[in-house]
Structure 1
Amino acid sequence: MFCPTTLLLSLGICLVQAAVPSPATVDSDLWLLFQNDLDWHTTAEHESSILLSSRSHFDALSACAKLNEGLTPTNGTFFQSDIQKLLAFISLETEASPSQRYWIGGGASVHGQTCPAVSKSGLSTAACSEILPVLCTNSAPNKVSGETDLSPTWQVQVNSGKLSVTGTRDHLSFRFLGIPYANEPARWTYSSLYTGAPRISALTFGSPCAQNNLNGQENCLFLNIFTPFLPATGKPSKNLKPVMFWIHGGAFTGGEGSDSIYDGGSLASRGDVVVVTINYRLGALGFLALSDGVTNGNYGLADQVCQVTALKWVQEHIASFGGDPSRVTIFGQSAGAGSVRALLGSPPAFGTFSGAIAQSNLAGFAYASTYSEYFTIEQEVEVAAGKFVVEVGCGNGTSTEVLDCLRKVPWQTLQTAADAPRYVVVDGTFIKRDRLSVDGKGPVASNAHVIFGWMAGDGADFAGNFPQSTTSQTLSIEGIPIAANLTAAILQSGLFPRPSTANETLDTFNVTARVASDGEFVCLDQATAHSGSLHNVFKSMWTYQFERSYMGFEPIPGICDPPATATHPFGDPSLPYFQCHSGELFFNFGTLGQSSMPFRDQFDLPFEQITVDAWTSFARTFNPNPDATFLAARGYTNTTTALRQWGLWKDVNSREPVRILSWPSRGSGWLEQEQCDLLGFPLDFYEH
């Protein structure tokens, strides 16, 4: 619709919107800018803006009005604290002159000849007819994940190919939730790229995949996009952002991309990246393999990577949402890290990503082994599937009859069966070898830059049952479980000394947790990085150990929380506690302050900032050390100071191959080498 000139000039906004706006509506890229310091206590002190392409002041008012916004005002803290940083960032990213002026709000001169503008030098004016880029307000409210304001006022439309996708925005990013990336597949068939209705409402999350806690549905192949940038439709853009493609964990039996921890708004706004989170089929529905020549498994893995599903969808459509398909980093934690590891050796995935971060990849003892050492289909049948088909009542008949029977069983029965398969297998297409070829002898994504890392206490949650006061150290260690002769060797070696505190039970568990952390995470992730670097199979290789955590996976109540004190009622992270599995996730995503979760000490917030800056730096440059010019332009002084004081994160070819991520952070040599040798997982494990 048309808004009268007098109304535009006096209010700077037309409040009536005829249709959902898009970049085409205003003939411009939409770049959402927010100076995100990740401190949710002060979010209201930072205003959000949308940058539009150059036009006259009158046209600027009209364009902002089409977004249900006005020109950014000159009052408030935005002009006191944020504007110079954002203009410096715009200049860095677009190579605009430091003297470049931008239209902002305020009245025209008496004769309507000059209008207010701003540059890095401060407030100024320009002839109203001059053609300048535009700063519109973004008055969409800040909401935690799952509470997005669905008002039509904030909605936005993206057209990509035949698709028309309606999403929304909040204070941090444009959000497109619950986009179907695949047609709903029949059970135990590989998914195919979405060809359904072209008009998609992406305002709310789609269903999680059916899982063993009886949550979810079978129709679940949805992805979510959090982006700071929407390019003008049909126009090539030089400003596409790197893409971070998240694969959730959950033992291949649970989890969802819509978990509030994984909200991508903070990564998008602080790191200037596009975040994609996905669902993929789980448990028996995602990983059943049978010796029938038809049911070959890896359906959940194929959902992530197959030439016609999630990563393919990203390659085809992400540019329309502001993402650069040539700069995709896959990252995942736990089973998600196992997925990253598998995709690094999966030929159909090659070329769809250039970076990979595996957080807490399991490998080694017992339960952990199957995430990095893959069964053949025959082995999977022997270990799980053969028992599974009997458990669900389909054990009799020909292979065709068995499969027909399975397709009629309620998904709840399939997913909760005791032997429901959850294993990546060697199927000959997606996985061709029983392990990732870091020895250079098999298929590998050689174009990728790679990070492997783990929590310092990752194994505490995988160390068997918490011992009782009468549990011996031998029984506690064997609960992992490991062989009795290895238990004896561990106890006799002196390499896993038992603490001596007033808590005998916890002292016993400390030893067991250390054995489990080494034997299920540290040793073989280090060996992976060492061998990958030795054979130059990746473009670069980095590792870390996280030594600060927040909550995490806690099957044993209380052990993952630092003790509370009078000065630190929410826990003192400087005191001993287990840095447990999943304890890094709030820091990775910058979501620590959401849901009223408190900062425990003066370091939680700056550590969160530094972590987000490292992860998004890797997405931008494939180096976890943020570029100094980027940090300066954005005003990220905590990260700048920390890197100057602590030194840079070095790759595995250095004398400090492991980055200890803590406060302060530091470089380290390979960890626990004697312990790993004793456990049978030496640094050269993958050389044999």
Structure 2
Amino acid sequence: MKVYDHAFLPIFIFDFILFCVGTTFNEELNWEKPLGHMSTGRVVRDVPDGSKVDLREKGAASVDAWHFECLAQAPKTEGPKVHTRYGAMQGLLTDMVYIFYGIPYADPPVGGLRWKPPSPVTSWKGLYDATFPRAACMQSCVGLCTTKVSEDCLYLNIFVPLDVDFSKPPVKPLPVMVWIHGGDFVAGSASNSLYDGRFISNFTHTVVVSVEYRLGAFGFLVSGQDPKSAAVGNYGILDQQAALLWIQQNIAVFGGNPNNVTIFGESAGAQSVSLHLMMQSSQPLFRQAVVQSMPFTIPLKNRREALWLGKEFAKVANCSINDIACLLCLSPQAVLTAQKIAGSNMVNPFHLLEMFQTWGPFIDGVLIKEQSITAFQKGDWQKEKPVLFGTTSEEGVVFIYGVFTYPVSELECVFYVTAIFKQHALKILQEYLPLYKDADMRTMMSQIVTDYVFLCPSRKSARDSAQMGSAVWMYIFDHVASDLRVWDGLAFCFEHVCHGAEVPFLFDSGPVANFTLSPAEKLLAGSILCYWGTFARGANPSSPVAQSAFCRQQSPVRWPRYTAENDWLMMNLTLSSHAQTSPRDHICDFWDKLGIY
């Protein structure tokens, strides 16, 4: 077996499986500033009173039976009406929060707008029905996925605490938390039941927003450099920007404070968060950020590599790379097919880690100027913004065991390590081999992925940022759910703290992820939400002054800021959470000195 035989498997297998189970701004923001990339196209949206709106393009691939599992069981009552700058809408009243589902933040990127920056949303007439989720963005679906997908997918969901009075301006606008989902930039949805924002909004007393954005070739195809005659990529990131701008313009009518927006995301969502921290055009759109399980050392493609992938895509689709008309005429399913086949080829054999993320953002020199790890080391990001960095304790398990479904011998392990790390392989093997005596070397390989891809570069970025004066906190999630059952065959997650293991605790979506939180685990979930909610209020995540009354009663453990003066203490999020130095600091010192991030 060759390492490149697995190129079709995304690094974020776990995100895909989760998808399948269930600063004050004074100037007026507009679509031209700061987003100079916006398309000026328009699509008319006319919404009759009381009608359900679904602007999905005819012929888009879909699978029926898509819905929040938990929403299906929730009582539905006529919700409040609000007036945004684009029109009126009616939401949904639930037992926890008000919900506004499927709000368009840009016009549908269909037809001639397929590979264009997002266009400002067209105002509608009548009352928009925001009581049900819209389709997820186009993606392939395997196994038991049951979700409708469409090219018309630029929507967001808003969750609002029940004490917000929509009949008058809020006396004290609430903090806003914007979730960017993961999924390797090829899968996932804001309306995945795993990311039900009701519990976070209710518990933290914040306005929670979840955002859809274009995925795969639809969001990241590069066929040239001229935006008038080619796909120039990074549309998925521009979609996120457009959503953040819509939030700035409209969130006040939902009781939210546009001057206090926190963006947070896990995995590919964390990569997105890091890019917005680097992009100057995103600077006025949020105040602080949470970066969960960021794969810092998975490289973004450069322009040449992105264009090579685009040529492979066009070849598979029987189009010329220079024939944008041919590409635009492809059916959505044809795009997905070409995306999958083209993505199975290795773009750069010297960058084997690229196999873990075929489609996604690339360094275009304008929007994205460098690798995230480089930007954080050099200080080329919005250093004035507070950031939480964190990982799980066993990030690499799901990837290694997902790719290598059989035991890996020591000889094979040496081959793979050498193929990826080349001249550094001997030092790495000397560091790790003495610690692992099992015949199956997947345990060691999992630890290398955890250390090299996630933990140590996150620590490096946090330390460099802290030394430049940034307010940084670090955590490690280190708890295996006591009632965790087998997740679609990933039995090896039964005894490990896998990539994404904190997400069901953050969203209280344990049943969706196939386990039930014990009373002790409920307290852990509550502590996590206390930290995230307090941070969203612009404070130290464990500041008692900024905490809700419930959090003050719970008295979560103090989370010290990550600095050398605090002995580089991080928060260990487990049943008995505590601040500590990382038990793998010596390993991260090794990687830092190796200098290959």
TM-score of the aligned structures, taking structure 1 as reference length: 0.67
2:218 counterpart of 1:301: no
Q: Distance in 2 between matches of 1:553 and 1:326?
A: 42
Within the candidate set 244, 264, 270, 1:337 is matched to: 270
Pick from 611, 618, 624 the counterpart of residue 528 of structure 2. Answer: 611
Q: 1:304-383 maps to which residues of 2 (within 5 A)?
A: 304-305=240-241, 309-364=242-297, 369-370=298-299, 374-382=300-308
**Does structure 1 residue 264 correspond to structure 2 residue 190?**
no
Deviation, structure 1 residue 428: 3.5
Alignment of 1:515-526 (within 5 A): 515-526=448-459
The residue number in structure 2 matching 1:190 is 117
Q: What amino acid does structure 2 have at the position aligned with 1:334?
A: S
2:550 counterpart (620, 634, 637): 634
Alignment of 1:650 with 2:553, yes or no, is: no
Q: Residues 629 and 583 (structure 1 numbering): CA distance in 2 closer, same or farther, change over 3 Å? A: closer
Identity over aligned residues, as a percent? 27
Q: Choose the corresponding residue for 1:178, options 83, 87, 102.
A: 102
- Are the equivalent residues in 1 in contact too, given 2:487–2:514 (CA < 8 A)? no
| Residue identity in the other structure for 1:237 | P
Q: Which moved more, 1:422-431 or 1:241-250?
A: 422-431
Tell me whether 1:155 sits opposite 2:67 in the alignment.
no
2:86 and 2:121 in contact (8 A); partners too: no
Deviations 1:373-419 (A, max 9, x none): x333223113x2221211111136xx2x2x11111112222223322
**Structure-2 separation of matches of 1:629 and 1:434:** 35
Q: In the aligned structure 2, how far is the partner of 1:595 from the partner of 1:375?
A: 32
| Aligned: 1:411 with 2:411 | no
How big is the shift at 1:547?
Answer: 0.4
Q: 1:146 pairs with 48, 51, 71, which one?
A: 71
> In structure 2, what residue type is equivalent to 1:415?
L
Deviation of 1:666 after TM superposition, in Å, equals 2.2
Deviation digits for residues 491-530 of structure 1, max 9, x if unmatched? 3335761166xxx53xx32211111111111111111111
Q: 1:617–1:549: structure 2 CA closer, same or farther, 3 Å change rule?
A: farther
Task: Tell me how far apart the structure 2 counterparts of residues 514 and 429 of structure 1 sit (CA, whole Å).
Answer: 36
Tell me how far apart the structure 2 counterparts of residues 605 and 197 of structure 1 sit (CA, whole Å): 43
Q: Partners of 1:549 and 1:224 in 2: how far apart?
A: 30
Which residue of 1 is the match for residue 137 of structure 2? 209
**Greater CA deviation, 269-278 or 480-489?**
480-489
Give the 5 Å matches for 1:532-551: 532-536=465-469, 538=470, 540-550=471-481
Q: Which runs of 5+ in 2 are unaligned?
A: 1-67, 143-147, 344-357
Distance 1:150 1:412, change over 3 A: farther
Task: Output one character per residue of 1:627-681: Cα deviation in whole Å (capped at 9) or x when no partner.
Answer: 25745x33764x31x42xxx43433442133221112222233553443455x54
Alignment of 1:80-99 (within 5 A): none
* Counterpart code for 1:582: G
List per-residue Cα deviations over 1:5-52 (Å, max 9, x = no partner): xxxxxxxxxxxxxxxxxxxxxxxxxxxxxxxxxxxxxxxxxxxxxxxx
TM-score (norm 2): 0.77
Greater C-alpha radius of gyration = 1
Decide whether the 8 Å contact of 1:167 with 1:177 is kept in 2. yes
When residues 524 and 552 of structure 1 are mapped into structure 2, their CA distance, relative to the original with a 3 A threshold, is farther
Q: Which residue of the partner structure matches residue 392 of structure 1?
A: 317
Q: Which moved more, 1:525-534 or 1:172-181?
A: 525-534
Q: How does 1:448-487 map to 2 (within 5 A)?
A: 448-463=385-400, 465-466=403-404, 468-469=406-407, 471-476=408-413, 478-479=415-416, 482-483=420-421, 486-487=424-425
Please tell me whether the aligned partners of residues 174 and 256 of structure 2 are also in contact (alpha carbons under 8 angstroms). Answer: yes
SS in 2 for 1:560: helix
> CA distance change for structure 1 residues 183 and 347 in 2, over 3 Å: closer, same or farther?
same
* Other structure's SS at 1:559 match: helix
Q: Would you say the 8 A contact 2:394–2:446 is kept in 1?
A: yes
Q: How many equivalent residue pairs?
A: 496
Name the SS of the counterpart of 2:341 in structure 1: coil
How big is each residue's C-alpha offset from its partner over 1:206-244, in whole Å with a ceiling of 9 and x where there is no partner? 100001328611000110000115755684423211011
Contact 2:530 2:547 in 1 (8 A): no
Mapping 1:548-563, distance limit 5 Å: 548-550=479-481, 557-561=490-494
SS in 2 for 1:609: helix
Helix, strand or coil: the match of 1:344?
Answer: helix
Query: Relative to structure 1, is the Cα distance of residues 533 and 648 closer, same or farther in structure 2, using a 3 angstrom cutoff?
Result: closer
Q: Which residue of 2 aligns with 1:580?
A: 498
Give the stretch that moved more between structures: 313-322 or 524-533: 524-533
**Could you tell me which amino acid in structure 1 is paired with residue 301 of structure 2?**
F
Separation of aligned partners in 1, 2:486 and 2:182? 11
State the alpha-carbon separation in 1 of the partners of residues 399 and 592 from structure 2. Answer: 17
The alignment status of 1:667 with 2:583, answered yes or no, reads no
Q: Residue 425 of structure 1: CA displacement?
A: 1.7
CA RMSD of aligned residues (A): 2.8
Give the Cα–Cα distance (whole angstroms) in 2 for the partners of residues 547 and 494 of structure 1: 21
Higher RCO by CA contacts (8 Å cutoff, separation 6 or greater): 2
Q: Distance in 2 between matches of 1:628 and 1:226?
A: 25
Partner of 2:510: 592
Separation (CA, whole Å) in 2 of partners of 1:327 and 1:489: 46
Decide whether the 8 Å contact of 1:438 with 1:532 is kept in 2: yes
